[in-house]
Structure 1
Amino acid sequence: MWSSEHLDLDAYLTHLGYEGDRTPTLETLRALQRAHVLTVRWDTLDSFLYREVRLDVPSVQDKLVRRGRGGYCYEHVALFAAALEKLGFRFTAVSGRVQLGADSAHPRPATHAMLIVDLDGARWLSDVGFGHSPLEPIELVDGGRSEAGPWPYLLRWQDIAHGSPGWAVHQRGGETDDPDGWVVRQVFTETPQYPVDYAVGNHFVATHDRSPFVTRPYIQRQGIDRYDTLDALVWTTERPGRDRVTRTVGPHEVPELLDDVFGIRTDPAEARLLVTRLRELDSAGRCGRSSP
């Protein structure tokens, strides 16, 4: 179903630096998720520059593995699902709604792709495409947690939209009434999704005038103890236990910043186009400048 016959599994695993076991076990899944999240880049450049993002496995592998570019959740999950399928894992794809900054009375579309992996009678949420993603799968039980790395995550079964029950992924930070500091970042149900469903959601995210990925570029890179974002021209660095550092960069600085900080390579023509589009965005006052 996930076109694993078109995946060069050896090239993908080499890109991850993965040399471990290839049997479909929880240990393998944990190692693959960690390697994928820390290695495969995340960006929205194609939707911002071209309003086109392809999800077929050869295109995704060429972009994310061979060319060293980044992608967003649909691309990450297309690649990861093909790898899991080829390795013999059993899983179900699902879609979630990102809640951070959303108005609960007007929910966002379900355009975040994730996988639920079945292993030895247990089920695990594998979310490799958020950008700031858990470094390990989370068991799909009420109270399931991830403590891998400095950013913890929590799963709860609760009302997620207008009284309907479902799963909520919580993270710490932001405005919340929770005494332990948890805030909902995405919600989802277990309704199965198929490649054609992701194609529909991807079309909205990549092309619609109201998609945030069309209106400005957004780049993320997660490390073991550092998380960087570039939102148009605003570059933010977060480290556990330290104050957030935010600075504004010029359009001409962005291609070098992408290479040096985010590990994303753009060819000369693409770099020129990106600088031009960012200058247009900046002139229109839509770059959301922030003070350091």
Structure 2
Amino acid sequence: MVTTPAEPSPEWDVAAVDPDEYAERIGHRGPLRPDLETFTALHRAHVAAVPFENLDVMLGRGPDIGLPTVVDKIVRRRRGGYCYEMNLLFAAVLDRIGVPVRRSLIRTGDPLVHARPRSHLVVLAELDGRTWLGDVGFGSGPSEPIPVDREARSPQGGWTYRVTEPFGDGDRRVQELRGGRWETMYTLIPDATFPVDVALANESTSTSPGSPFVKRPIVVKRGPASERRLLGRTLTEVRPDGSETAKEIADVDYAATLAEAFDLELTEDEAKLVTAAIPHPSDAALG
């Protein structure tokens, strides 16, 4: 139960979220306190229980990221979501239990290598005199918060992450250790983020022809020892050492695969619409 209720943040409509209902959805049985232990436990439980997925985009619905709709979808109907839905929900819960949080719209990859627009939403929390990165909406991302204020390894199961010291441009890179090399997942930006920024990013991500999320289903769930990833019709299991196994999923088995591998339930009609939207190898390149 919530032990320290906080004043709702009207800017982000957090009053729409019931922390106890959310905790039940993700299987969190501990207290809901504004401390690092609770923040970490909620982060870990969310990533374990709720898959990253863009199926509403493939169904032509264009996700409504208003919190009442997000709560109904993820908490009550037990679906997954992508970064705006997942991290807005997560931040709202933290806000409600009294954790000082900021929503931050950042860039995927490294802008010094290939500049991309600010299109990924993360959560930054201030606890125990430090800044912590929370991200339950990346798919192939951390299971637990990562400290931002100093460059140190953050081992999480078989995966290892770090947040770099600021580069020459003043931004920090969030990196994962892959095959002995640090690879940048995304870049933290100090600019303020407002609800209108997130709304515009969601609109572009869910409708732009250049967005990867409109081209094929993307469903991801990462655990301590492996990651399951469904891209189009290809189901892949990836391990921290870089090894992987993959298989193609027939259209008739698609709904069952979503249920068995990701605990996602689609109706028969929804599954047909999703598979009908997946390009075949003979179609244009996926990009």
TM over 0.5: same fold?
A: yes
Q: Residues 216 and 277 of structure 2 are in contact (CA less than 8 Å); yes or no, is this contact kept in structure 1?
A: no
| Paired position in structure 2 for 1:37 | 47
1:76-133 deviation line (CA, Å, top 9, x unaligned)? 011101101110111111122111xx78554111111011101132111111111122
Distance 1:11 1:115 in 2: 20
Alignment of 1:1-292 (within 5 A): 1-99=11-109, 104-159=112-167, 163-173=168-178, 180-241=180-241, 243-278=243-278, 281-282=279-280, 284-286=282-284
Superposed CA deviations along residues 157-200 of structure 1, whole A, max 9, x for unmatched, are 243xxx522110110226xxxxx521111112122212221111
Which letter does structure 1 place at the counterpart of 2:212? P
What secondary structure sits across from 1:271 in the alignment?
A: helix
SS at match of 1:197: helix
- Equivalent position amino acid for 2:104 in 1: V
Question: Are the equivalent residues in 1 in contact too, given 2:217–2:274 (CA < 8 A)?
Answer: no
TM-superposed deviation, 1:148:
2.2
Gaps of 5+ in 1: 175-179
Distance in 2 (CA, whole Å) between partners of 1:214 and 1:51 is 11
Deviates more, 1:198-207 or 1:136-145: 136-145
The answer (yes or no) to whether the contact 1:232–1:287 under 8 Å persists in 2 is: no
Off by >4 Å, runs of 4+ in structure 1: 102-105
Amino acid at match of 1:173: R
The alignment's TM-score, normalised by the length of structure 1, stands at 0.88
- Shift in alpha-carbon separation, 1:103–1:27, aligned structure 2, 3 A: closer
Offset at residue 263 of structure 1 (A): 1.2
- Indicate the SS of the match to 1:184: strand
**Structure-2-length-normalised TM-score:** 0.90
1:230–1:236 CA contact under 8 A, matched in 2: yes
1:234 aligned partner, one-letter code: T
- Mark the CA change 1:106 to 1:251 in structure 2 (over 3 Å): closer, same or farther: same
After TM superposition, give the deviation of residue 283 of structure 1 in Å.
6.6
In 2, distance between residues paired with 1:30 and 1:124? 10
Give how far 1:239 is off.
Answer: 2.8
Alignment-mate amino acid for residue 231 of structure 2: D
Partner of 1:177: none
Q: Please, what is the CA RMSD of the aligned residues?
A: 1.9
Judged with a 3 Å threshold, the aligned counterparts in structure 2 of structure 1 residues 287 and 254 are, in CA distance, closer, same or farther, namely farther
Please say if residues 178 and 241 of structure 2, whose CA atoms lie closer than 8 Å, have aligned partners that are also in contact.
no
> Mean alpha-carbon deviation: is it higher for 140-149 or for 107-116?
140-149
* Native 8 Å contact 1:2 1:81 kept in 2: no
* Counterparts of 2:201 and 2:54, CA distance in 1: 15
Secondary structure at the counterpart of residue 152 of structure 1: strand
Aligned residue type for 1:170: Q
Unaligned runs of 5+ in 2: 1-10
Q: Which stretch has the larger CA shift, 142-151 or 261-270?
A: 142-151
Q: Conserved in 1, the CA contact under 8 Å of 2:55 and 2:217?
A: yes
User: 2:16 & 2:206 partners in 1: Cα distance?
Assistant: 23
Distance 1:134 1:71, change over 3 A: same
Identity value in percent = 33
Determine if contact 1:254/1:275 at 8 Å carries over to the other structure: yes
User: In the alignment, is the contact (CA less than 8 A) between 2:156 and 2:224 conserved in 1?
Assistant: no
Bigger Cα displacement from structure 2, 235-244 vs 113-122: 235-244
